[in-house]
Every structure is written in structure tokens, then in C-alpha cells.
Structure 1
Amino acid sequence: MPITPDQQAEIDTLRAQPQPTLRATAPGMEAHLYNAYDVLDHGFIRVIDYMGDDAAICQAARVSYGRGTKSVQNDEGLIRYLMRHWHSTPFEMCEIKLHVKLPVFVARQWIRHRTANVNEYSARYSILDREFYIPAPEHLAAQSVINNQGRGEALSGDEAARVLAYLKDDAARCYDHYAEMISDEGQQGLARELARMNLPANIYTQWYWKVDLHNLFHFLRLRADSHAQYEIRVYAEEICKVVADWVPAAYGAFEDYRMGGATLSGKAIDCVKRMLKGEEVTQETSGMSKGEWREFMGVIG
């Protein structure tokens, strides 16, 4: 169960007590506040707080130009211009604070994005719940033969059953030993900060994660990509849904220029120009390595 009864009661209480405010609000985000959205088997994300909206991005951008510029260019057009030309500072005027419940191994990958404020559940002071991420059979895959950090075909039959049994048995055994070590019934009991070292990386942790929109877009560009690891990608995809309702113009520009766009090198642009003139360009005449050429051909089809 991703949300405990106590957490759900807290959510219900918070949503039942709306507060008047003079600050700008985003109707789309207001609908998401405090609601928890399930991810994986025991995880979730929920919005705790936010600041700013599409208008805040434009307000920050226009401070350099003075009054009167809004009539020249509408907000959506300005936001697309900022995104297109990598003017990132105005996007930093928006912030979001999320409560996330996620497996430890996903958290360790997530925390590599060092541009957020994080406060994680402490296993030094509290006892972790007996909840582990166990992949669905379709997400048990062999090592990719072409990508050292990717997956290949899904395991099947006896192999899949054997792996699932290992994951479940090992997680249960480690937690049993953890609980026994910290128990003070008839023994001193090992300190929690030491006992936690025996817990598996698929146990769930929780944190508050606060980040500005510019750095959030960077996180989503990498983690919502189809090549990202499934277990972190599903969190990023759920966050994308929230951001699309929060700052629809900014998210639309992000989706177009970052998620759906491509960056071409100087050599690649030169090749495109030569092709448009009718010249036949090959990898050997392009000046690119085989890897660069393969990626270039993937972009232009």
C-alpha cells in the first residue's frame, strides 16, 4: 500500500482547509496539491508546495526589457523563445516541492541530480517499513548485449521465476535480520544506524525534493527519456503530468524543443546543407565517427 492511513488522513485534512492567498496560483497545480499518485508497487509522488507559473517566467524575463514588451510578444511566444535560445534563468523563478516514496537504488540514481534541496527519511532515527520493490515479470530483463547500462530481452519461464524468488527471499531475509538486530527484547539491540547497512537496495525510502523548473526540466529530459531506466522513468513520467498542468506553456516548449527536438553538431549541420544541395554524403565523407554518424542518421531518418 503506497499511502498509509495516516498519510491519507493528512492529505484529506490539508485539502479540506484551503487558505486564502495574494500570491499567484496555477489552477492546474492546485488540483494536484497533496494528492498522491502511485508509482511502482509501493511508491508515489505528491506535490507539497509550489511557487510561480507561466506568468512568473515571463515576468522575470521582461524585467530586463521594461514595460510595454508584453504587447509585442505574447507569453507563450516569449516562453518558446526563451526555451529555444537556452535562456534558463527565467525558468528558475518557478519551484516545486515533492514528497516522493521510492526504492533506495532509484534514490541513489536520482540524487545524482545535485541541483535540488533534499531531506530524506532517516534510518538512524526511525525504523524502515517492510516494503520492497519487486519488479513485475515483464520488467525482468537480461543485460543488453549492445549497451553496458541497459536491458535486453525479458527473462521468461523458469529463469524469471528463479530471479523473482531470489529477490523476494533475499529481501525478506535481510529485513528479518534487521528487525532482529535492532530488537531490544532480551538483548541490548544494535544501533539503527548500524543495522540499516544490512538492508537491500530495493527497500523503500522517502524524501522531500525541492527544485526549480529549469533544473526539473533537465531532470525530466534525462529521466523521462525512453532510454532511461524503467524504475526511475515511471517517476519522471508521473512528474511530467503534474508539470504539464502547472506550467502548460513552458512544458509545451520543453516537450517540443528538449524532448522532441535534437541538437546537431557543426559537422552535422554541414552535412545537412550538403545533402540539401543534392550531394551524396556518407560516414566516410562526413567527418564524423561511426557513432556520431549513426546518431545523426537516427535524427534525420
Structure 2
Amino acid sequence: MPVDEPTEVEFRSDVTVELVKHAASDADVIWAARVSTAGEKSLEEIRKDPERSKGLINYLMRDRHGSPFEHSSMTFYVHAPIFVFREFMRHRTFSFNEESGRYRKLRPVFYVPGPERKLVQVGKPGKYEFVDGTPEQHKLVTEATQEAYRQAYRAYLDMLDAGIAREVARTVLPVGMYSSMYATCNARSLMHFLSLRTRRDDARFPSFPQREIEMVAEKMEALWAELMPLTHEAFNAHGRVSP
């Protein structure tokens, strides 16, 4: 007999991004760059105000001397739909660890686009826009996704109750289910990610990311901007191109 749908089924239209730990500051860029001319004396930069060397950071960004931006580290906790993670993992400069459906019973948290999510694609790939859907389209998306999620999770529970292994039972679950991961990167890698996964009018090269991964990118960028404000400023000033 099928099990009843659990009361804890949750539908969300947002994402969670938290900065778990970091070793990242504008000073990291400066001492890494200064070693080429100052050698061991570059260590003195660690204790100096990086504002004094704002011009150096700007120069490095402008002329795309990228390696000094690699001497930082940030680890983010991300809770988002699985389809976001699959796009995320195309960026091979991150280190990832994700929760496993082989080793734990997966929680029924599912993504449903919110009312502000644009639904209709107009134009050809590479040159298109998304526009708002009608109330009827939003109603259809909400009802169809929620019903599909309920059916899929009910089938998952039926198999678990029948003694089927978690790694087999999970095959019916959709990519709209939420997962959790840790993602670690340096500032240069993060800038590359942001250049592709945010859409900005001031970017030198246009990008057309899926809105859901852009939501993650926006939250990551806000956290990074607090850690490395001079680097973030230079990134924006030079067209949001990773050095």
C-alpha cells in the first residue's frame, strides 16, 4: 500500500548561500604580486593597509595578470535545486562536496518558480530574452511541478518502504529537488564564475545565465565583495572579466 505523503514536503523558490570559512582579503593580492620585485620583503604587505595599493590591484585586473588573485580561499555552503548544481559543476576550478542520495534519505524539498520568474523564451539561442508569463502559465507551472514532485517522492518512499536500496529508489526523483554542497574557490575562479553566471549591462562580454544559478551567483558575489572590496571594485571597473 502506498505510504501517505509526508507533511514535511516543502516547496521553495529561493536558494541559500552561506560563507562557511575564508582566507581572503585584498592584501592577499598585493603580497602575491609584490614578491616578483620585492622577494621576502613582500611579506611586509600583509600588515599594511591594502588601500595604499589600490592602484596595483587595478593594474593587475586591467592587464589581466591573474595569478595574484589565486592566493585566497572561500568555502560556500549552497542549498539549491539539483539542476543548478549540474550547471555549477561545469566550472572545474571549484572543489565540490555534495550530499549523497546513496547514503541518506533525501528530504522532500522542491523548487517551484516564484511569481517573479520569467517563463517565456523569445528569440534564438545566443540572442534571446525571457519575458513574464501570464497568470495562467504561472498557475500551470506551479500546479504541474508540485503534482509531479508529490508523485515522484511518493514513489521514492514506496520503494524505500519495500526495502529497495536508496541508490536505486532515488532514480525517480527530479532535478528540481534541493541538494546541499560545499563549494571552495579562489577569487580568480569566482570572478570567472561570476562573469558567466550573472547578467550585467556593464559587462564587457554579455552572458545569459539561467536565472536560478544567477541567484546563487548574486549571493556569492555579495559575500565576496565584503571580503575583497578593492578587488571587487576593479572587477566591475574593467568589464567583469576574470584576469
* Shorter-chain TM band: 0.7 to 0.9
Which of the residues 10, 22, 25 maps onto 1:50? 22
Give distance in 2, aligned partners of 1:54 and 1:152. 37
- 1:242 pairs with 2:223: yes
- 1:180 pairs with 2:158: yes
- 1:142 pairs with 2:120: yes
* AA at the equivalent of 1:213: A
Secondary structure of 1:132's aligned partner: strand
Give distance in 1, aligned partners of 2:199 and 2:235. 13
Shift in CA distance, 118/205, structure 1 to aligned 2, threshold 3 Å: same
Unaligned segments of structure 1, at least 5 residues: 1-39, 262-301
Question: TM-score scaled to structure 2, two decimals?
Answer: 0.82
Larger strand proportion of the pair:
2
Contact 1:97/1:209, CA 8 A, preserved across alignment: yes
- 1:107 pairs with 2:81: no
- 1:216 pairs with 2:177: no
Secondary structure of 1:63's aligned partner: helix
Shift in CA distance, 137/52, structure 1 to aligned 2, threshold 3 Å: closer
Secondary structure of 1:139's aligned partner: coil
TM-fit CA distance, 1:195: 1.1
Aligned residues: 216
Give distance in 1, aligned partners of 2:220 and 2:75. 11
Which of the residues 241, 256, 269 maps onto 2:237? 256
Which of the residues 168, 174, 187 maps onto 1:194? 168
- 1:64 pairs with 2:36: yes
Give the structure 2 partner of residue 83 of structure 1: 61
Give distance in 1, aligned partners of 2:134 and 2:128. 18
Shift in CA distance, 105/180, structure 1 to aligned 2, threshold 3 Å: same
Which of the residues 181, 190, 193 maps onto 1:207? 181
* AA at the equivalent of 2:178: Y
Give the structure 2 partner of residue 164 of structure 1: 142
Structure of greater Rg = 1
TM-fit CA distance, 1:150: 5.3
* AA at the equivalent of 2:77: H
Give distance in 1, aligned partners of 2:234 and 2:64. 11
Give CA deviations for 1:25-54 in whole Å, capped at 9, x if unaligned. Answer: xxxxxxxxxxxxxxx635311111111311
Secondary structure of 1:190's aligned partner: coil
* AA at the equivalent of 2:24: G
Shift in CA distance, 160/127, structure 1 to aligned 2, threshold 3 Å: same
Give distance in 2, aligned partners of 1:159 and 1:41. 16
Percent of paired sites with the same residue: 31
Give CA deviations for 1:137-189 in whole Å, capped at 9, x if unaligned. Answer: 33151232233685532221323312221111001110111111112xxx3x1
Which of the residues 98, 101, 106 maps onto 1:120? 98
The root-mean-square deviation of aligned C-alpha atoms, in Å, is 2.2
